[in-house]
Every structure is written in structure tokens, then in C-alpha cells.
Amino acid sequence: MSASEGNPAAGGWTEPRATALLVLADGTVLEGFGLGAIGEAPGEVCFNTAMTGYQEILTDPSYAGQIITFTFPHIGNVGVNEDDTETVNAAASSGVRGVVLHAAITEPSNWRSNRHFDSWLKSRNIVGICGVDTRALTALIRDGGMPNAVIAHSPDGVFDVARLKAEAARLPDMAGLDLVPLVTSAQRYEWEETPWRWPVGYGKRDKAAHRVVAIDYGVKRNILRLLAKAGCEVTVVPSTASAEDILALKPDGVFLSNGPGDPAATGEYAVPVIRELLERKIPTFGICLGHQMLALAIGGQTLKMKQGHHGANHPVQDKTTGKVEIVSMNHGFAVDPDSLPAHAVETHVSLFDGSNSGIALTDRPAFSVQHHPEASPGPQDSHYLFQRFVELMESDKAGKAA
């Protein structure tokens, strides 16, 4: 339904009745017009500043348990396609609970589109609302932090507001939640697909120089593609894989993936495994939640952020080169740099707020970054980090052969 549609009434037109609500934990009720799935969904409300790539964002497993507010007003205008999904299983839910838009969805206008955005949201059971002042909602999040909320869509416009307020108020905080079980793979699999390129689309790795085991905490497709492009034979294992399971695959390197939720909660079972791998001095590379897992494994701590970092336009400095790059970010927790031991060197830092964006160990062949070097969506400034991982494995092999 368009946000400008009215309902006929005796004597003229009246304001259209709201068919969707966003009910915040503090009792604030935002009215709008429903789109996507019909029903209700609870979640933590965050905002994303990316201007493009909404399909990749909504299929990023790192957003599990969240309701995404897009600051860019026109979302859905290029439709959706079969190529831009970031969950490994294209038909599976990424865990995103809802989406908040300013403008109503228009008909798709892009040669790659094969489906209307609204139809796609319905198929993935994502509840949506449009007609919201997303600038005001973003300001609210910046001032007060990411609130819990219930998003509801009812075509008849009938809501039990009191019940929705009570439900929103009793939702658990994201801190303490392990959401990785919602998005991790159920079994081991191999990955060979390489990045998309014009005009042939996605490719396939033909040979590999390094065997990499990727621990799936909610991995994105483009991470796996870039590992394959870098000449890696990639085996993906579930988040609960044991150190013995991983070592049995005889990896040249281990990759720790992105994912959702509180890293400390996931770390209850993930950290002991990572510590064992670090003791074996296996080259290790982590991204996002994987970065936080590495920090926890060496004795560091993580902190809940006020509004988090969500977007494709974040400036980060690589302190090892002095280079400033624009990157994609999606995280609500951060590594506390003051908690890191002496053998962890800070390699990257956010130029927005000075928060930690990367570490490297001086006594182990391991490093990680908070941002998403694979982007999708976003700039490709940080693709070099995959080559840095390859060089780490090559150096390790050379040292063992000497």
C-alpha cells in the first residue's frame, strides 16, 4: 500500500488508517503502512546508513534478531534478484526480524531485478513498515541507543497496542544472547564459488594452494568467494565444530566468520576451540564476530556499543600502512582495546569514534578485523586482507619447510 493512498469516506477523503506499527520498549508507538510479511516480530532496532545493497544487508546473518531502519529513503526501487543474497542457503532466513522504511516501495527499475521487493520480504517472513520518519528514529537511536521493539503488520489496521507495548518492554537485551545457532550451518560443506564479474557472473575455483577451514558463526557468501578467489580450498564447518574435528581436516589456515549476537555468549563454546587452534599456531583470520572471538580467546573483553556501526561508508585506518579505507561495518559489540594483552597489537581503528577495528598477535600467526573487508554491499578497499591471510599461510609453510 502506498503511503499516499487514502480511504474514501462520506464527504471526501480521510487520512489512511495505519496498517503497521513499530512499538518501542519505552512505549513509543510509530505508525505507518505495512509491507512484507503479515504478523509481528520482536527485535533490537538499529539503523544502516548504506545507500545501496539492501538485499545483501537483509540477508547478512550478522543482523539476526534485529529490525533494520534504513536511513536512505528509497529502498526496494531496484527490486531483488537471485545473485545478491548473502546467506549461504538462499532460501533460508538470515534471522532479520523486520525492516523500517521512509518511502513506500516502488515498482522495480533495474535490469537485474526478477522480483518485487515486497514479494521477496513476504517469502522470507520479514515484517516491514514504511511511512516512518526514519531521520527522527535514527536520531532517537543515536541519543538513546538501540531499543528493543515489536514491529507489527495487520492489513485491517487493528492492533492490541497495550499488549505490544508489554511485549516490547519485556524483551531481553541483546547482551547475553547467543544468536549463532539461528544462522550457522548444520553440517560441513565445501565451497568453490568465486566473485561475480561482468559479463559471466559467478565463477568457480579451478585450483587451490591452501586448505582453509571456515568456522561458520553466520558466514556471508562473499567472504567464502574471496577466500576461493585467493586460491583457498574452503571447507565450512558449523559453529559447534570441535578443535579435533577441525584439526582432522589438516588446515593450512582457519577462518573465523562474522555472525550475530553477544560474542561473550557465543564464546562460551567457541573460545576454547579457538584457543586450542592458536596453541597449534595455525594461521588464523577473523572478521566481525570472528574478530571478537579471537580477542576473547586471548583474554580480551568485548563491550556493547550504544548505536553500533552499521553501514557501507565507515572510515578505518590500517595502522600498519597508514592507509585510510572506506569499509562496510555491521556490529553492535566492540573489542575493548584496553583489555588486550601485550602480545596483541591494534592494527586498525575506526576514524568515526576511535573504536578498535583490528588486531594482530605477535606470538601467533593470527589477525582479525572488526569491519567487513568482503563488503557486499560496500567498497572493496579492504580486499587486500584476504591476500594478507594467504601470505600468512605461505610464510607458515615456508617456516615449517625450513
Whole-angstrom distance, CA of residue 195 vs CA of residue 302: 32
3-state secondary structure of 144: helix
Q: Give residue 188's identity as a one-letter amino acid code.
A: R
| Nearest residue to 239 via CA among 211, 260, 210, 208 | 260
Torsion sign over Cα 391, 297, 323, 196: positive
Q: Give residue 85's identity as a one-letter amino acid code.
A: T
Torsion sign over Cα 43, 46, 49, 50: negative
- Cα distance between the two ends of the chain: 68
Whole-angstrom distance, CA of residue 71 vs CA of residue 132: 11
The question of whether 383 is a catalytic residue gets the answer no
What residues form DSSP beta bridges with 212? 234, 253
Angle 7-10-15 (CA atoms, 0-180°, nearest 5)?
35
Q: What backbone phi and psi angles, to 5 degrees, belong to 143? A: -80, -40
| Nearest residue to 257 via CA among 345, 182, 369 | 369
The question of whether 288 is a catalytic residue gets the answer yes
Please return the burial class of 337, using the count of CB atoms within 10 Å of its CB with bins 0-12, 13-18 and 19+: middle
Check 56, 86, 325, 374 and give the catalytic one.
374
Integer angstrom CA distances of residue 273 from 126, 255, 298, 365: 34, 13, 12, 16
User: Do strands 302-318 and 344-350 pair parallel, antiparallel, or not at all (unpaired)?
Assistant: antiparallel
Q: Is the CB of residue 72 less than 8 Å from the CB of residue 51?
A: yes
The question of whether 46 is a catalytic residue gets the answer no
Residue 105 is given by DSSP the state P
Q: Is the CB of residue 132 less than 8 Å from the CB of residue 25?
A: no
Check 40, 153, 288, 310 and give the catalytic one.
288
Cell reading at 5: 493512498
Whole-angstrom distance, CA of residue 166 vs CA of residue 179: 23
Whole-angstrom distance, CA of residue 80 vs CA of residue 71: 19
Catalytic residues: 288, 372, 374
